[in-house]
Amino acid sequence: MLEVFATPYVEMKRRSGGLKCILKYVTVVVVGICIFYMIKSSFDSEECDLTKIHVNSEHTKRAMEYAEQVLQAKCRTSFVKKEMSRLFAEKYNKHTSPFVRKNVNTEKAIFKYEPPFGFHKLSERLQDLLDLLPNDDLQEDIKLKSCKRCVVVGNGGVLHGLELGYALNQFDVVIRLNNAPVQGYTDHVGNKTTIRMTYPEGAPLSEHEYYPNGLFVAVLFKSVDLYWIQAMVKNESLPLWVRWFFWKQVAEKIPVMPKQFRILNPIIIKETALDILQYPEPRPRFWGWDQNVPTIGITAVVLATHLCDEVSLAGFGYDLSQPNTQLHYYDNLCMAAMHKQTMHNVTTETKFLQKLIKEGVVKDLSGGIYCDFCRKTSW
Ligand SMILES: *[C@@H]1O[C@H](CO)[C@@H](O)[C@H](O)[C@H]1NC(C)=O
Ligand SMILES: *[C@@H]1O[C@H](CO)[C@@H](O)[C@H](O)[C@H]1NC(C)=O
Ligand SMILES: *[C@@H]1O[C@H](CO)[C@@H](O)[C@H](O)[C@H]1NC(C)=O
């Protein structure tokens, strides 16, 4: 951007002669104004004016009542697994374990693909890490419950103003994604975190987002992510060369005990992408992905079906037709920013979630995917 302006400026300076000083002054001002407007317009398309967003109080009330109703209903043991098997038949294996187990080397399927769909050629390093981790799925106290209600809290701006925090805290398992903050947003998102699920670049940098009893579920998107998680579990510093492979600063310490770490079973990503969403098979590529990688949100929903008896969602739904709405509940990025990503197919994912909600398999507490509680006459 700056180079574009630099050339005429240099040209003018060279030719100016007697009027040199004045021209120089004018040029600097003009260039300054142009740069200001370019920067401003590029920010205008990224930032959303949050003061313009308000949620109608009637809508908030209905959302809160709906969440209460979902919580009051009887918890049906194994409900969500049965329903997923009904909808997707052989594409969904209800016996898939949610996390990687110590006996991973007996499961050939895990080593067929490279991350994120499998751990091809990573068997030894993986075994080394698994020796440090427990074999349990959930925390002792939660495991004992005969029927578990889970909620996957997405990061969507749709959560803003719905005041679902109190309701979300009453679920047995609250799954949060990437660096979604709790501090400062508890009215909207509650303050309970049973599981935080993220890839390395998504892990919160603030130690206040980790809890003594919460699980940290690592999603490994690339081979080098295994080196990162190993350093985090062992509480060692990250090797220098490993840092080059991340597209942003990654957490250097995850302040939880080794027994709180889990590694997402890559079969869940493979099953979500290749079987359920029917994305193309991974091909060898030098760089990038084929838009066949499911988002962490969808992956968490499928994980929840393997971990829980009943599943609800909140904070899901990207309404791409509303470019000026808030993308996340915690920052001021606009929905329009979502058009720039090329890794995920949001259309396919939204259809999948709509299907789950319309079929009654999962509940959408914030109504961003399919709203059961919105008054049908409102349009
Ligand atoms: C959540 O907030 C409630 C009420 O403010 C508090 O009692 C509880 O300790 C908090 N829980 C966590 C995990 O911070
Ligand atoms: C990790 O190591 C640091 C010292 O380097 C220590 O203060 C901290 O308590 C350790 N964290 C855990 C979770 O063991
Ligand atoms: C997303 O998937 C749908 C099929 O469900 C396909 O028609 C569409 O072209 C895909 N979008 C992109 C951007 O690849």
Boundaries of domain holding 137: 50-378
**For residue 234, which ligand has an atom nearest its CA?**
2
Model pLDDT, residue 344:
84
Q: Which of 13, 28, 44 is the last residue of a domain?
A: 44
pTM value is 0.86
Shared domain for 113 and 256, answered yes or no, is yes
Atom 13 (ligand 1): residue with closest C-alpha?
192
- The CATH number linked to 125 is 3.90.1480.20
Contacts of 47 (CB under 8 A, 6+ apart): 332, 333, 334
Residue pLDDT tens, the chain, 379 long: 332 333 333 333 334 444 454 455 555 555 554 444 444 444 444 577 666 666 788 999 999 999 999 999 999 999 999 999 999 999 999 999 999 999 988 889 999 999 999 999 999 999 999 999 999 999 999 999 999 999 999 999 999 889 999 999 999 999 999 999 999 999 999 999 999 999 999 999 999 999 889 999 999 999 999 999 999 999 999 998 999 899 889 999 999 999 999 999 999 999 999 999 999 988 876 666 677 899 999 999 999 999 999 999 999 987 777 777 888 999 888 888 777 777 788 889 999 999 999 999 999 999 999 999 997 544 4
237, two tokens: 């510093």
Contact 299, 218 (CB under 8 A): no
What pLDDT does residue 282 have?
A: 87
Asked if residue 349 and residue 210 are part of one domain, the reply reads: yes
Q: What is the pLDDT of residue 21?
A: 46
Residue 257 Cα to ligand 2 middle (Å): 9
CA angle 292, 294, 298 (to 5 degrees): 155
Residue with CA at minimum distance from ligand 2 atom 1 = 235
The CB of 257 under 6 Å from ligand 2? The reply is yes
Contacts of 273 (CB under 8 A, 6+ apart): 117, 279, 292, 293, 294
What domain count does the chain have?
Answer: 2
- Point out the ligand 2 atom lying closest to the alpha carbon of residue 253: 1
CA-342 nearest atom, ligand 3: 13
Q: What atom of ligand 1 comes closest to residue 192's alpha carbon? A: 13
Q: Are residues 99 and 14 in the same domain?
A: no
Decide if 307 contacts 139 (C-beta within 8 A). Answer: no
List residues near ligand 1 (CB under 6 A): 191-192, 211
Specify whether 167 is located in the same domain as 186.
yes
Which numbered ligand comes closest to the C-alpha of 232?
Answer: 2
Which ligand has its closest atom nearest to the C-alpha of 345? 3
Same domain, 10 and 149: no
Q: Is 255 in the pocket of ligand 2 (CB under 6 A)?
A: yes
Are 16 and 63 contained in the same domain? no
- Model confidence over 240-286: pLDDT tens digits? 899 989 988 999 999 999 999 999 999 999 999 999 999 998 887 66
57 and 7 in a common domain: no
| Whether residue 297 sits in one domain with residue 367 | yes
CA pair distance 200, 211, nearest whole angstrom:
18
| Token pair listed for 11 | 């040209």
Do both 27 and 166 map to the same domain?
no
| 9 and 149 share one domain | no
Query: What is the strand order of the sheet 310-314 is part of?
Result: 261-263, 215-218, 195-198, 173-177, 149-153, 310-314, 362-364
Ligand 2, atom nearest to 256 Cα: 13
Q: What is the pLDDT of residue 182?
A: 95
**pLDDT given at position 19:** 46
Note whether 118 and 30 are same-domain residues: no
DSSP 224-259: THHHHHHHHHHT-PPPHHHHTT-SS---S---S-GG
Task: Kindly state whether residues 261 and 321 are assigned to the same domain.
Answer: yes
